[in-house]
Amino acid sequence: MLEAVQLTKRYSSIPAVQDLSFTLKPGQVLGCLGPNGSGKSTTVKMLTGLLEPSRGLVRFDGRNIQEDLTSYRAHLGYVPEEAYLYPYLTGWEYLEMVGTLRGMQRELMESKIDLLLELFSMRPARHAAMGTYSKGMRQRILLIAALMHDPEIFIFDEPLSGLDVTSALIFKNLVQALGKAGKMVFYCSHVLEVVEKVCTDVLILRRGTVIAHDSVANIGKILGASLENTFLHLVDDVDTIRVANDIVGVMRAA
C-alpha cells in the first residue's frame, strides 16, 4: 500500500502542496485532478521520490520511501508529463538502457521490449533516433519503459498527451486492466472524462490542498452532477461560458 501522510512542499516558504494525505491500495486507480498550479506535478514528484517533502512522508508497505529510494523505485513505473528523452538514442536503445538499469535479465528484457513495441505499434520505428519521433511516439516509449519491469505502483502524469485515438483507447483500457490486476495506479490528468471512466477514486486539488477525495461514484452522488460539473463547482471561480464569449468578442473586434 502507498500512503501519503501530510505531504507538504514549500518553495522558498511558498506552499505548493499542503498537508496532502491519501492511501493507494492494490487494485485502486486514483485519479488526481486540479487546475494548473494546484500542486499535481509537485505531488507526483514527491510520490516518485524526485522531490523530498518539506514535511510529511510517503510510505510504501509501511516504510518511508526516503529511507530506501532505490528499492522503492524498483516497484515503480512512472510516465512523466513532458516526454524529455535523449534525442540521439533510438527507442530500442532507450528501453534497453532503462531495462538494464532496472537490473532486468537480458533475454526477458529484450523479448518484453520487442513485444511491447509491437503492441504499441512502435516496432517499425524502434531503431530510429528518438529526436525524429512525434510527441505521441515518445509518449508510447515512456509507457513501455514504465510497464516493462512489471511494477506494483504506476504513476502516470498526463499520459495521454499526444497519443493518437487508438493508442489512447488502448491506454484507457490498460489502466483499468492494471487496476484489475491488483496494481496501484496514481493517474494525474486534465481530461475529466478519462478520469471518470478509468479511475475508481478521485482526488481533487486546489492551490496545493485537497478539496475532495472520494470514489468517483460518491463524488458525483454528493453534488448530483457529472465529474466535470463537480470539478467546475469545486475548483473554478471562472465563468467559462462568459470567458468564451468574451474571447469571440475580442477576436471579432474591428
Question: How many Å apart are CA 131 and CA 126, to the nearest integer?
Answer: 12
Q: Is 124 in the site for other proteins (CB under 8 A)?
A: yes
Q: What is the 3-state secondary structure (H, E, C) of 197-213?
A: HHCCEEEEEECCEEEEE
The least CB distance from residue 224 to other proteins, in Å, is 41
Q: Is 6 in the site for other proteins (CB under 8 A)?
A: no
**Stretches 33-41, 75-83, 110-118, 223-231: which one binds other proteins (CB under 8 A)?**
75-83
Residue 142, Ramachandran bin (φ over 0: left; ψ between -120 and 50: alpha; else beta): alpha
Candidate residues 85, 170, 191, 211; the one interacting with other proteins per rule CB under 8 A: 85
Q: Which is nearer to other proteins, 48 or 167 (CB)?
A: 48
SS3 content of the chain, % helix, strand, coil (to 5): 45, 25, 30
Q: Which is nearer to other proteins, 36 or 70 (CB)?
A: 70
- Residues 143-172 contacting other proteins, CB under 8 A: 145
Decide if 22 contacts 45 (C-beta within 8 A).
no
Residues in CB range of 126: below 8 A, 6 or more apart: 90, 91, 92, 117
Q: Which DSSP symbol is given to 90?
A: B
**Stretches 50-58, 158-166, 217-225, 236-244: which one binds other proteins (CB under 8 A)?**
50-58
For other proteins, the binding residues (CB under 8 A) are: 10, 13, 48-50, 54-55, 69-70, 73, 76, 78, 80, 82, 84-90, 92-93, 96-98, 100-103, 124-125, 127-129, 131-132, 145
